Structure 1
């Protein structure tokens, strides 16, 4: 039986990249019955799209989202930087699917502000080609990290995250994350939002933030590349959850990394 939940927030799935854990996304979506599904940016990675790599597991996620919408779930697709091409269609409505750039909801008398967060990223605003190059580099770093971890497991050693090590050791990266969170919360407090919910920085978080003007609850849904995290709102409470902790670890399967998938061949078979 599928678990009912009022609101689910997913972000930074990056369908179409080697690092995406689409199998796990599908399993999670298949386990719930949400009233509202909020896709908070970078769901399909149009920046790094390769027509020779879009596995059927990735297409099944898209099909599952459409199925949920057809069965009554209200789906809000908030655009991010990796799927910014969709912004030309913002405010489009297709049945229960709403394509938007930001979202404000009243949740049990409290105001919630949802947006991806790339608007705060100066590197994207002014040097987009560098940001795109960095995205490719990050994708291949994740691919190399997977291969490394398979070798470590065979050697009886613990898995290791190269990207987290880099983020935590580079002062500029730590400062960027802190600046991002401070900017988001300052704006939320200034505009009297009780909740501010973001993605973009791949850093899952939920915490109360206060300043001299007031307070807000900052939430970040993380990502489905490294952290496999998501947010749920139910019975007036927010929770930050991790796929690996919530699901049987034996069901966690590393996705096949075959770059020779032909998208045109997969489409008729998966979507029929």
Structure 2
């Protein structure tokens, strides 16, 4: 762990899959990240509020309020905030174009980067066959995911006591299952094809909790990751270049993990 970092300002920040209302949401990490990072525009790329879990069991601790208040405060200070709902907060899809406390709701947007390249921005659940066509199976998978996250919570507590950095069991386990790895690859290909149909240079999405930046047959595919497992965000610099930030915060120190180059040449994030 390093000393507290300097404040950083970006042209655009993309965050997704925060899952406020879930016991697994790392609101402490996110609040710390938002203290040190600001942007002209913040795009929330879906599943910010976990409506599925809140329907089953209401859970809204102070950390969830703090995240909402932090975002609203940024909006009042002039940051443009765009909220693209996902499947877990799909109740907001009935309000496209509506502003809530300065936060704009949109189904999807085309983001033009500083270098002139255009990116389709959407959550991505519409390309998940399980969520789209077999809703019951999706809910069952969600319950199984809760179990993996519960293990995460226990391991995180143990690692904190041992002064070890945060590590996600659920993210690790997901990447050990061949079917999950195949699903991630297929999801990326389908979303990239949607970008191609929209005649843009790339796509920025969330949904599958797998942060990465890579080129797929000429389309720049960027996934924001999540704030349950990997605690990641995508930042656009003033020159239009993108950075994947993994935020690992414990106590009064913070560590921004560098990107490692994957064997196939794609830029990817690897948890510590």
TM-score, normalised with respect to structure 2:
0.82
Whether contact under 8 Å (2:109, 2:120) holds in the other structure is yes
- Runs (5+) with no aligned partner, structure 1: 253-272
Q: Deviations over 1:146-179 (max 9, x none)?
A: 2135346768999764323432232221111111
Whether contact under 8 Å (2:18, 2:49) holds in the other structure is yes
* Structure 1 match to 2:225: 222
- Alpha-carbon RMSD across the aligned residues, in angstroms, is 2.4
- Which stretch shows the higher mean deviation, 88-97 or 75-84? 88-97
* CA distance in structure 2 between the partners assigned to 1:142 and 1:248 by the alignment: 19
Check 1:10–1:157 CA distance in 2 against 1; reply closer, same or farther (3 A cut): closer
- Which stretch shows the higher mean deviation, 166-175 or 120-129? 166-175
* Structure 1 match to 2:17: 12
* Structure 2 match to 1:101: 107
Q: Deviations over 1:85-116 (max 9, x none)?
A: 11111221246311111011222321111000
Check 1:38–1:248 CA distance in 2 against 1; reply closer, same or farther (3 A cut): same
Q: 2:128 aligns with which of 121, 124, 131?
A: 121
- Which stretch shows the higher mean deviation, 30-39 or 220-229? 30-39
Instruction: Spell out the pairing of 1:1-272 with structure 2 (5 A cutoff).
Output: 2-49=7-54, 52-94=58-100, 96-108=102-114, 109-151=116-158, 161-210=168-217, 215-235=218-238, 236-244=240-248, 251=253
- Which stretch shows the higher mean deviation, 164-173 or 2-11? 164-173
Larger Rg: 1
Whether contact under 8 Å (2:72, 2:101) holds in the other structure is no
- Which stretch shows the higher mean deviation, 163-172 or 96-105? 163-172
Check 1:156–1:54 CA distance in 2 against 1; reply closer, same or farther (3 A cut): closer
* CA distance in structure 1 between the partners assigned to 2:44 and 2:70 by the alignment: 13
Check 1:4–1:224 CA distance in 2 against 1; reply closer, same or farther (3 A cut): same
Whether contact under 8 Å (2:46, 2:123) holds in the other structure is yes
Check 1:159–1:199 CA distance in 2 against 1; reply closer, same or farther (3 A cut): closer
* CA distance in structure 2 between the partners assigned to 1:52 and 1:175 by the alignment: 34
* Structure 1 match to 2:257: none
Q: Deviations over 1:178-236 (max 9, x none)?
A: 110011112223432112101000000011222xxxx1211001011110100000122
Whether contact under 8 Å (2:211, 2:222) holds in the other structure is yes
CA shift, 1:67, in A, is 0.8
* CA distance in structure 2 between the partners assigned to 1:112 and 1:155 by the alignment: 42
TM-score, normalised with respect to structure 1:
0.82
* CA distance in structure 2 between the partners assigned to 1:16 and 1:156 by the alignment: 27
* CA distance in structure 1 between the partners assigned to 2:38 and 2:229 by the alignment: 25
* CA distance in structure 2 between the partners assigned to 1:144 and 1:33 by the alignment: 32
* CA distance in structure 1 between the partners assigned to 2:159 and 2:113 by the alignment: 45
